[in-house]
Amino acid sequence: MGCYSPIFDRMLEILGKKLRTSNVQSQRTASAQSTEEAPIAVSLVDIFFKAKELERKGFDVIHFDAGEPDFEPPKEVVDATIKALRDGRGRYAESGGIPLARKALAENLNRKYSASILPDQILLTAGGRLALYYAFMSLPKKTKVGIFSPDWPAYRDISNFLELPIQFFKTSLEGGWNVDPDEVRKSDCGALVLNYPNNPTGKILDLRTFEELVGIANNKDMTIISDEVYSDYLLDSSKKSKSILETDSPKNIFVTSMSKSYAMTGFRAAYIVSDASTISRLIKINSMIITSMPEFVQYAMIAALDCQEYVKEKRDLIRKRRDAAAKALKKYLDAEFYLSDGSMYMFPRLHTRKEGTKFNSEKFALELLDKEKVSVTPGTSFGKPFIDHVRITLLQDEKRIDEGIERMSRILN
């Protein structure tokens, strides 16, 4: 396929249009914010930067906000990065990834999932977000995207940016965050996003539901985009989950990243797996956008694959923190929650103690940060209906988690 593929044209068309309208939109937002009735819209990013600013002023902030590990990457990863740089590996590289890295990743996935992935089915790129953007970009124009909600906001943002219509399938705490495959069966979605273990709920899909969804997708010729960035944080070992790579549907798209498993958030190291022809199209886009992943980062990724003891240690650590959070949520807040099967989050529902008032997670998050210096993400960041939930990250030690939740109780009135 030549350089100017339809996907390429589409990208330029969308980018041009978005840039032209962005000024008008920001003016509209500014005027809306100036009126009293304007809804409060407090995002994860707002809270995160406000928390950082408070810290710069010398306040002791307990961070329950961004999903960024509080531990360092494995020593082997740092050593491999430095060695690669010393060896002159700071050059342009192949747009799909250096052959050594694609081969190492393929072998690792084949071992882990008993799969038979070939190196040319893998594209290395700069972070999970970009990988997901490419995955959505590969869908035909106007494909309707099915998203289980609550949902990590990037899926909505990318779909909206690419003008892909969305159908949300709402799940609930009462329903154990279970999904209803029938809703997907009845829909006219051309793509379905899976994100298990889930951000924010911590849910994993049981095997039966997973198989049913895969069957529906196959029958309806639906592409599954499976974001498995939290697959190493499976906290409940009695529960079994499956990767999309363990199914027999090569056209699905698997996305993962080294950010969470190896605390490599700033390395921007991620990869996509799909059929070779989709990957070949995406390599052209990667080539246009970033040329290639930094070569030394790819050596760091190879080194990370040998750090499975580290991953196990961190999983055990997060499990202990999850249990500490669960205990504190009951003790101080009398909160309702689902004990996360996986991921690095808890997504409790909170209540005010004042009769006749409803809990508003946006107001709460602002007041909590302001008065008690604890940063949480309002539930609305993951969908409007989740106004009575907050997301808490498990990325502080147990004592800090306990203290943070105790501080939360001080302003729940």
Ligand X SMILES: Cc1ncc(COP(=O)(O)O)c(C=O)c1O
**Listed ranges 126-134, 213-221, 303-311, 393-401: which one lies at the site for ligand X (CB under 6 A):** 126-134
- For the four alpha carbons of 364, 368, 370 and 374, in that order, the dihedral sign comes to negative
Which one, 96 or 200, has the nearer CB to ligand X?
Answer: 200
294 binds ligand X, rule: CB under 6 A: no
Q: Which token pair is 190? A: 């051309």
Q: Which of residues 95, 138, 199, 286 is near ligand X by CB under 6 A?
A: 199
Work out how close the CB of 202 gets to ligand X at its nearest, in angstroms, rounded to a whole number.
12
51 binds ligand X, rule: CB under 6 A: no
Which one, 147 or 368, has the nearer CB to ligand X?
Answer: 147
Q: Which of residues 73, 128, 150, 181 is near ligand X by CB under 6 A?
A: 128
Which one, 69 or 190, has the nearer CB to ligand X?
Answer: 69
Q: Which of residues 81, 149, 257, 393 is near ligand X by CB under 6 A?
A: 257
Work out how close the CB of 44 gets to ligand X at its nearest, in angstroms, rounded to a whole number.
9
Taking residues 205 to 244 in sequence order and writing x for each that binds ligand X by CB under 6 A, - otherwise, the string is ----------------------x-x---------------
CA distances to 24, 38, 202, 229 from 341, in Å: 43, 37, 6, 14
Q: Contact 66/386 with Cβ under 8 angstroms?
A: no
Work out how close the CB of 261 gets to ligand X at its nearest, in angstroms, rounded to a whole number.
10
Give dist(CA 206, CA 179) in Å, integer.
10
195 binds ligand X, rule: CB under 6 A: yes
Window 147-166: residues binding ligand X (CB under 6 A): 152
**Cis ω for the linkage preceding 378 (within 30 of 0):** no
What SS3 class is residue 374?
strand
Report the DSSP beta bridge partners of residue 257: 270
The owner of tokens 């940060």 is 369
- The angle at the Cα of 179, spanning 174 to 181, to the nearest 5 degrees, equals 145
Which one, 152 or 299, has the nearer CB to ligand X?
Answer: 152
Count the site residues for ligand X by CB under 6 A.
13
SS (HEC) of 115-182: CCCCHHHEEEECCHHHHHHHHHHCCCCCCCEEEEECCCCHHHHHHHHCCCCEEEEECCCCCCCCCCHH
Give dist(CA 281, CA 274) in Å, integer.
11
129 binds ligand X, rule: CB under 6 A: yes
Sheet holding 145-149, edge to edge: 122-125, 270-273, 253-257, 223-227, 191-194, 145-149, 166-170
Q: Which of residues 80, 158, 270, 328 is near ligand X by CB under 6 A?
A: 270
318 binds ligand X, rule: CB under 6 A: no
Q: Pseudo-torsion of CA 78, 81, 82, 86, nearest 10°?
A: 170
The owner of tokens 């605390």 is 263
Q: Which of residues 69, 74, 127, 378 is near ligand X by CB under 6 A?
A: 127
**Listed ranges 123-131, 135-143, 205-213, 367-375: which one lies at the site for ligand X (CB under 6 A):** 123-131
Q: Which of residues 63, 67, 105, 300 is near ligand X by CB under 6 A?
A: 67
Residues that bind ligand X (CB under 6 A): 67, 127-129, 152, 195, 199, 227, 229, 257, 259, 265, 270
